[in-house]
Amino acid sequence: MSKKKKICVVAASAVIVAPMLFTTPASASSVSNGILSKIERQLSVNKILKDIERLSMDNGENKDNARVTGFEGEHEAAKYIQSQFEKLGLNSELKTVDGIDGFIDEGSSLTINNQSVTVKTLTYSQPTNQKLEGELAYAKTGTENECKEANLQGKIALIQRGSISFAEKAKNAYNNGAVGVIIYNNASGMLNGTLGKLNDSVVPTVGMSLEDGKVLVDKVNAGESVNVAMEVKTIVKPNSFSYNVVGELPAHKNIRNPQTLVVGAHFDSVSCPGANDNASGTATILELARLISQPEIKNKLQYNVKFVAFGAEEIGLVGSEKYVEQLVQSGEAQNIAGMINLDMVGVGDQVVTYNIDDNASHKITDIAHENINELGYKFGGHFNSGSSDHAPFEAEGIPSVFIQFDKDPYYHTDEDTLDKIDPQNIKETATLVLNMLMDMQEKSPNKPNKQNKKQFKNIEFENEEMPSF
């Protein structure tokens, strides 16, 4: 794709969007003469890219502290997002999420008989003091008995993934004298995992691929003496906090008991720039908020629309879980008509959708699929995943969909930077969500007149140059 693409002005196309967003249908001509040209409700990909840049830039001295959960960079990003909601005139709220242990993986290394092997720090691992050296001992899947039998005193335990949690394996090994733990995968490839909580962390613990793990098991089983040197560097911030940031556009006051639509994206990151994961989704919801908050649209909404930027996603969906818990406690959960989650929408060449499973209603997913189809986007398929913020909503029975572009080779690496973002993906995502919101307006139980069928799909840009990187 040529990235420097001049988008032509198709004034009329943008015009037809309007009636669908209003409670009172307006004729195309009255709209074209007035509202839309006045509010210039065109989507600006450049604004989204600027926000991605703003969110993913280096954060002073500690460049890896981009928006890591519980650290300053994340808190600063939350305040920026709130300031943007405020600027747009949304009812905004910064909701503190307590009980967060901040953790930054500063890298780990391992050598086996002086040969280096790739490992990955488990989240919440203890650090090593300088380098840790010891003999390798194999403790199978790391149950209490297996650890007892493996004679781990002063050694580094090699344990296979499976049957019990990583934290339990590490604890069992530690209780039997191990000074370090390596957990290798039970499927091909690297093991990337978490010990769950800082409190559950007792010993330096790293993940290893199945392939490397097997080679080591064979060596130990053959009676070879295997010497391990291991180093784990971390930064922790215990008892920290995070934020969920909410920007609300209330439904028109004439709508009795309006339902709420949530459009969400997490804004925290692991220790990398996080341009795609997930400054892309965050910046896109900010632009959607800007478009929908144009008074001519805002004043006629049939749903409350809540834009929610979630914190603490990367440590286990903690922000969105807390948010849903609060919805349930206040009774508001029953009133949520749907949730759209944007996570990693800037890299890849096909749009994909996810739900946790087939249990909850797929009403919103169906609307996404209809629109993806009508817009003619390349669709990579629908999958099951609970790895993002739609999961707590879906688990509560709220119709939800997780929208993503696939596939991002820079996921959770230092290469997750602005230059990898494809503006076309951003444009397509924002267009898709706008169309979905229009459909929901159209299908709203409150809509008095359903004659106005949606005719418009692709949103065009007015005089906007596509960025050239």
The residue whose Cβ lies closest to ligand BES is 387
Based on CB atoms, which residue is closest to ligand BES, 74 or 460?
74
The C-alpha atoms of residue 410 and residue 398 are separated, in whole angstroms, by 31
Residue 175's binding partner among Zn ion, ligand BES, none (Cβ under 5 to 8 angstroms by kind) is none
- Within residues 349-408, the interface with ligand BES by CB under 6 A covers 385, 387-388, 404
Residue 394's binding partner among Zn ion, ligand BES, none (Cβ under 5 to 8 angstroms by kind) is none
Q: Which of 313, 321, 416, 428 binds ligand BES (CB under 6 A)?
A: 313
CB of 278 to Zn ion, least distance (A): 4
The site for ligand BES, by CB under 6 A, has a size of: 13
Based on CB atoms, which residue is closest to ligand BES, 194 or 441?
194
The C-alpha atoms of residue 292 and residue 465 are separated, in whole angstroms, by 22
Q: Is 411 one of the binding residues for ligand BES (CB under 6 A)?
A: yes
CB of 411 to ligand BES, least distance (A): 6
Do residues 404 and 352 make contact, with C-beta atoms less than 8 angstroms apart? yes
Residue 387's binding partner among Zn ion, ligand BES, none (Cβ under 5 to 8 angstroms by kind) is ligand BES
Whats the size of the chain, residue-wise? 469
- Among residues 429, 426, 423, 424, which one has the least CA distance to residue 403? 429
For residue 298, how far is the Cα from the chain centroid? 27
Based on CB atoms, which residue is closest to ligand BES, 174 or 267?
267
Q: Is 316 one of the binding residues for ligand BES (CB under 6 A)?
A: yes
CB of 392 to ligand BES, least distance (A): 10
Residue 74's binding partner among Zn ion, ligand BES, none (Cβ under 5 to 8 angstroms by kind) is none
Residues 6+ apart with CB under 8 A from 341: 264, 265, 281, 388, 389, 390, 393, 400, 401, 402, 403
Residue 385's binding partner among ligand BES, Zn ion, none (Cβ under 5 to 8 angstroms by kind) is ligand BES
Integer angstrom CA distances of residue 33 from 29, 84, 229, 455: 6, 30, 73, 18
Q: Is 321 one of the binding residues for ligand BES (CB under 6 A)?
A: no
Based on CB atoms, which residue is closest to ligand BES, 146 or 343?
343
Tokens 């004034």 correspond to what residue? 11
CB of 195 to ligand BES, least distance (A): 13
String of DSSP letters for 191-242: ---B-S-GGG--S-EEEE-HHHHHHHHHHHHTT---EEEEEEEEEEEEEEEE
Q: Which of 105, 146, 343, 416 binds ligand BES (CB under 6 A)?
A: 343
> What are φ and ψ of residue 149, in 5° steps?
-70, -20
b/e per residue 114-141 (b: at least 16 CB within 10 A): eeebebbbbbbbbbbeeebebebbbbbb
Note the residues at the interface with ligand BES (CB under 6 A): 277-278, 313-314, 316-317, 343-344, 385, 387-388, 404, 411
